[in-house]
Amino acid sequence: MNGYRIKEKAISNYGEFYEPLGVVETVQEGSDLTLVSYGSTFNICQDVVRQLAEVSVSVELIDAQTLIPFDIAGDVAKSLKKTNRLVIVDEDVESGATAYLLDQILVKQKHISIWILNH
C-alpha cells in the first residue's frame, strides 16, 4: 500500500531497462547496522536511515530487489561481517518474506552469528 502513495518519475527507457536477478543493491554504506528491505517498504527505510544518521547511527541500506533468487553474491553476509546487526523490513502481512530472507542469509550465506529478535 505504501508504494501507491509515492510519486516517481516516469521512465524514458521503456523496453531497454533490465534488472539483474539475484543481485542486491547497496544503496548506502554503513558500519553500525545492516538494513535489508524491498518493494514498497524500501522508501520508508530510506527515510529512517536519514533520521538515524542525524543521531550518528550509520546504516548500510540494502535493497533486496529480487527474492527468488536472492543475493547470489552473498553481499548481505558481507555487510553483516562489518556491522554484525541485521534488520529486515517486510510488508505487514502474515508469513511475509522475512523468514525466507533470514533462511537465505543464515543458511545459504552461512552467516549464523546473528541474534534474532522477535517483536
Per-residue pLDDT of the chain (119 residues; tens, 9 = 90+): 455 566 667 767 677 667 789 999 999 999 999 999 998 889 999 999 999 999 999 999 999 999 999 999 999 999 999 999 999 998 776 667 888 888 888 887 776 554 544 44
> Do the domain assignments include residue 63?
yes
Compute the C-alpha angle 70/41/116, nearest 5°. Answer: 65
The reply to whether 1 falls in a domain is no
Report if residue 43 sits inside a domain.
Answer: yes
Q: For residue 84, is it within any domain?
A: yes
Phi, psi of 105 (to 5 degrees): -75, -45
Which residue range forms the structural domain that includes residue 52? 20-108
Residue 77: give its domain's CATH number. Answer: 3.40.50.920
Question: Which residues lie below 8 Å from residue 110, measured CB to CB, with a gap of 6+?
Answer: 77
Q: Is residue 25 part of a domain?
A: yes
Q: What predicted TM-score, i.e. pTM, was given to this entire model?
A: 0.78
Q: Measuring CA to CA, how many Å separate 90 from each of 2, 11, 36, 82, 84? A: 12, 26, 9, 22, 20
What number of other Cβ atoms are within 10 A of residue 22's Cβ?
14
- Is 46 part of any domain? yes
User: Does some domain include residue 117?
Assistant: no
Cα radius of gyration (the chain): 15
Number of domains forming the structure of the chain: 1
Residue 115 belongs to a domain: no
